[in-house]
Chains A and B, each alone.
Chain A
Amino acid sequence: EIVLTQSPGTLSLSPGERATLSCRASQSVSSSYLAWYQHKPGQAPRLLIYGASSRATGIPGRFSGSESGTDFTLTISGLEPEDFAVYFCQQYGNSPWTFGQGTKVEI
């Protein structure tokens, strides 16, 4: 199965700053089927990005995704107070679907 390794584990930033989160796959992800989610305690995960770079419905433009081979990046350009949360990546191109360990973005 594909192992997804996210880094860093924790990112300490201030509102307005740019956040860059990494997700590295152990092998090629079929069809660039890589998603990013935002997760806050006690809430349902929120889909942000699918297909490595497409924003999900209703997601603000400050969230963007990119890929380079087996390296995937989520960028949040200008952190808003509500963006402080855990972010995890998921590949859904190869069975079984797998997830990264998550990156916590904290103030």
Chain B
Amino acid sequence: QLQLQESGPGLVKPSETLSLTCTVSGGSISSTRHYWGWIRQPPGKGLEWIGSIYYSGSTYYNPSLKSRLTISVDTSKNQFSLNLNSVTASDTAVYYCARVEGEAPPDYWGQGILVTVSS
């Protein structure tokens, strides 16, 4: 059974960089059929697609976050990561990682991690 688990600090100071890692177990991140994404949900708001990455390193970033965003993959550790710089309180959210297969919607998600941006 595929599982995804987000990890990282739960508190980040304004103007600093938010860094999260998603560890994939029960399957290979190097699968040619899948790519891997990040989604977030601010408190009381809807979900937002952040971006995605293929095992080769090819990425897609939501234009609304592109200037501050880096998504990377480490196939040796079966992990992919999110870095969002210059954060503000509006980046406070539950962050999810997920798997996508081909032209299908995300089918496996992590449980999410709450990241609060505050001094």
Contact = CB atoms under 8 A, between A and B. Distances in A.
Interface of A: 31, 33, 35, 42-45, 47, 50, 56, 88, 90, 92, 95-102
B107 A56 contact: yes
Nearest to A47: B107
Interface residues of B, number: 22
Interface of B: 4, 39, 45-49, 60, 62-64, 96, 103-112
Contacts of B45: 101
B107 A99 contact: no
A99 B96 contact: no
A96 B62 contact: yes
A31 B103 CA distance: 10
Given A47-B106, A90-B105, A95 B46 contact: no
Nearest to A4: B46
Contact of A95 (B60, B108, B111): B60
A101 B48 CA distance: 10
A64 to B, nearest CB: 17
A44 B47 contact: no
A56 B104 CA distance: 10
A98 B104 contact: no
Contact of B105 (A42, A92, A96, A102): A92
A43 B109 CA distance: 9
Given A44-B110, A88-B46, A99-B46, A50 B104 contact: yes
Nearest to B109: A44
A88 B39 CA distance: 14
Given A44-B109, A47-B107, A56-B107, A96 B63 contact: yes
A25 to B, nearest CB: 14
A42 B111 contact: yes
